Amino acid sequence: MDDLKLAKHRLLDRHLSLVVVENSRVLFETDIEGLQGFLHAIERYHDLLSKAVIADKIMGKAAAFLCAYSNVKAAYAITISKGGLEVLSKHNILCEFESVVPTILNSARTDRCPFEKLVEKAVSPTQAHLEIVRFCQKSR
Residues sharing a CB contact under 8 Å with residue 87, sequence separation 6 or more, in sequence order: 61, 64, 65, 67, 68, 125
- Provide the percentage of residues in the chain whose pLDDT is more than 70: 99
pTM of the model: 0.96
Domain ranges within the chain, ordered by starting residue: 3-139
pLDDT in tens, 101-138: 999 999 899 999 999 999 999 999 999 999 999 999 88
Superfamily of domain 3-139: Hypothetical protein TM1506 (3.40.140.30)
pLDDT in tens, 11-30: 999 999 999 999 999 999 99
Residues 59-65 have a mean pLDDT of: 98
Q: Which candidate, 4, 20, 30, places its Cα nearest to that of 95?
A: 4
What is the average pLDDT value for the chain, to the nearest integer?
A: 95
Residue 1 has pLDDT above 80, yes or no: no
State phi, psi for 55 to the nearest 5 degrees.
-125, 130
Would you call 91 exposed, middle or buried from its count of C-beta atoms within 10 A (0-12, 13-18, 19+)?
A: middle
